[in-house]
Amino acid sequence: GQQVMQIPQYQHVQEGEDFTTYCNSSTTLSNIQWYKQRPGGHPVFLIQLVKSGEVKKQKRLTFQFGEAKKNSSLHITATQTTDVGTYFCFSGNTPLVFGKGTRLSVIA
Amino acid sequence: DTGVSQDPRHKITKRGQNVTFRCDPISEHNRLYWYRQTLGQGPEFLTYFQNEAQLEKSRLLSDRFSAERPKGSFSTLEIQRTEQGDSAMYLCASSASSGNTIYFGEGSWLTVV
């Protein structure tokens, strides 16, 4: 099945700095979903992107789906301590495999 | 609450004992997934169901693991003869159909001592 690779694996930022995580696939994705998992918690759905070049915003979070539908990014503006957690992406058509995600630490 | 619910939330068992976890998906969701997650890792897929049919089970970790969804509603995941390496969080998720959003339960934490 399709697999997506996510980078970076870890990111430490100062509170107020921006943060970006990337998902890359070697094959075209029908859609991509983003999840956030807080330490000790379970993955929580954030958003789904379906269209080529799609951009969606949720407050300080901006999600993009590449024109070729092979990559996606999540950008957080002015991180806060509440953004701490691991961010996962995967293709909704192959819910078999998650990557390791990007673990975000925010230093106050 | 109409989310995915899992029971028990925490289980401590002695090595060699059998454990069973239950998952109640969101109603009307016909797909149900089981994942395992250990510290620092992403969710590891185990198996999934479309209604009562188990469509993928080759990734179950060993023959000690089995899952059922007899009536196409709730599901159970059983681990027989538990080992310390089975200690993990077992996550259940459901979705309406392939490609739709997957919603996770809060997980069942297993500790094998």
Relative to beta strand B31-37, strand A44-49 is unpaired
Residue A94 has pLDDT above 70, yes or no: no
Q: Is B35 on the interface with A (CB under 8 A)?
A: yes
Structure tokens at A88: 């996962």
Task: Please tell me the predicted confidence (pLDDT) of residue A93.
Answer: 63
What pLDDT score was predicted for residue B12? 98
- Average pLDDT (B40-65) is 88
Looking at residue B82, what is its pLDDT? 97
* Choice between B98 and A90, residue whose per-residue pLDDT is larger: A90
The predicted pLDDT at position B56 comes to 82
Of the residues A42, A48, A69, A91, the best mutation for testing chain B's interface (the one with the most B CB atoms within 10 Å of its CB) is A42
Size of interface A-B (CB pairs under 8 A): 55
What's the pLDDT score for residue A57?
Answer: 97
For the stretch B3-27, pLDDT in tens is 999 999 999 999 999 999 999 999 9
More confident residue, A80 or B60: A80
Task: Flag whether residue B109 sits within 8 Å of chain A, measured between CB atoms.
Answer: no
* Alpha-carbon gap, residue B101 to A88, rounded angstroms: 14
- The predicted pLDDT at position A24 comes to 92
Give per-residue pLDDT as tens, A12-23: 999 999 999 999
In terms of pLDDT, which residue wins out, A53 or B41?
A: A53
The verdict on a CB contact (< 8 Å) between B44 and A98 is yes
Do residue A45 and residue B106 have CB atoms under 8 angstroms apart?
no
**Do the strands B10-13 and B108-112 form a parallel or antiparallel pair, or are they unpaired?**
parallel
The Cα–Cα gap between A101 and A21 comes to: 9
**Cβ-contact A23, A100 below 8 angstroms:** no
- Per-residue pLDDT of A32-80, as tens digits, reads 999 999 999 999 999 999 999 999 999 999 999 999 999 999 999 999 9
Q: Say if B107 is an interface residue toward chain A (CB within 8 Å).
A: yes
Return the pLDDT at B60.
80
Tell me the CA distances in angstroms from A52 to A21, A47, A49, B79, B80, one per residue in order. Answer: 18, 15, 8, 42, 46
Report chain B's mean pLDDT, rounded to a whole number. 92
